[in-house]
Structure 1
Amino acid sequence: MHTITLYTRNRCPLCDKAKAAIIELQDQWKFQLEEIDIETSDELTERYGLMIPVVHLDGEEVGFGYVDKIDISNRLQEKNQIK
């Protein structure tokens, strides 16, 4: 099963939209959603502070800022074909 990791922070409207889009994809694709608040780590805040939300699919960055649901869906489809 694939894992989508959403790097986010509190009071982030783009993060909320990204999470909603990813949750909608769970109707079509099987994956685990892991949400990580970057404010819990200085390293994550330094790495992603200006980019959030950041989305990783199985450890690979696939989107940041404005997260495109169709793009994430296409990436999931590619991963499933590689299996």
Structure 2
Amino acid sequence: MVDFVLYQRDYCHLCDLALAVLAEARAPDFDSVWVDDSQELEGRYGTRVPVLRNLRDGRELDWPFDAAAVMQWLR
């Protein structure tokens, strides 16, 4: 089971950038969840995507973030 989820949208250039930043930061494995598929998620994350969420403690990292911010948030 993974501990992280990246909430994103279809055809989202910011989400594509976030994926590149997560790769640069060597983030641990995460699941991708598209908010377009759920009214609940659309309401919660629709204007905030991409958002990285820690499923263990509920912390969230909203865009914009860079590799350094991701590494610090992961600690």
With normalisation by structure 1, the TM-score equals 0.74
Contact 2:25 2:68 survives alignment (8 Å): no
Match of 2:69 in 1: 71
Question: Aligned partners of 2:2 and 2:33: how far apart in 1?
Answer: 16
Match of 1:49 in 2: 46
**Larger relative helix fraction:** 1
**Larger relative strand fraction:** 1
Q: Secondary structure at the match of 1:16?
A: helix
Which entry has the higher C-alpha Rg, 1 or 2? 1
With normalisation by structure 2, the TM-score equals 0.81
One-letter amino acid of the counterpart of residue 13, structure 1? H
Q: Which runs of 5+ in 2 are unaligned?
A: none
Paired positions, count: 74
TM superposition outliers: structure 1 runs of 4+ over 4 Å? none
